[in-house]
Amino acid sequence: MPPKNKAPNKAKDNKNGGGGKAKAGSSSNKKDEDDAASASSGKQLKPATAINSRHILCEKHSKKEEALRKLREGAKFDDVAKDFSEDKARQGGSLGWKTRGALDAAFEKAAYDLEPSTTARPKFVEVKTAHGYHIIMVEARR
């Protein structure tokens, strides 16, 4: 078994700002570390029993990619949902409040890991389910 504290590991820690706990690419600035931690897979979020979410559902990957391009260009989430979503939630993609267990498992996992955001500056995630390709954002948690 190789020794745990070899010089290459120390060099790697120094490159990442020292301390050994910094994530790759983060700086030694405490605020940056906190931002990186809160942005990663939702581990810093308080547990929620319900979320108020929106989504864009597309059957085809190419249509989902076009919707993503619009979002990345700065379009509002609800406007993109009205134009691209292929389901009943065409009122800006709103699904309303959903409790745990009420959604598809893959959709629910992705949605509950998301930080709440606004339709004007959405934080979103993509997921594929049996229903198609989803782009999900969460407006509130409780």
Which helix (H) or strand (E) segment is 6 a member of?
A: none
Q: What angle do CA 70, 52, 121 make, to 5 degrees?
A: 30
Give percent of the chain with pLDDT exceeding 90. 63
**pLDDT higher than threshold 60 for residue 16:** no
Which CA distances in Å does 67 have to 17, 86, 97, 119?
37, 12, 23, 14
**pLDDT higher than threshold 60 for residue 123:** yes
The predicted structure's pLDDT at residue 30 = 34
Give percent of the chain with pLDDT exceeding 70. 68
Mean pLDDT for the chain overall: 77
CB 139 within 8 A of CB 54: yes
For the chain, the distance separating the N- and C-terminal CA atoms, rounded to the nearest angstrom, is 47
**pLDDT higher than threshold 90 for residue 76:** yes
**pLDDT higher than threshold 60 for residue 54:** yes
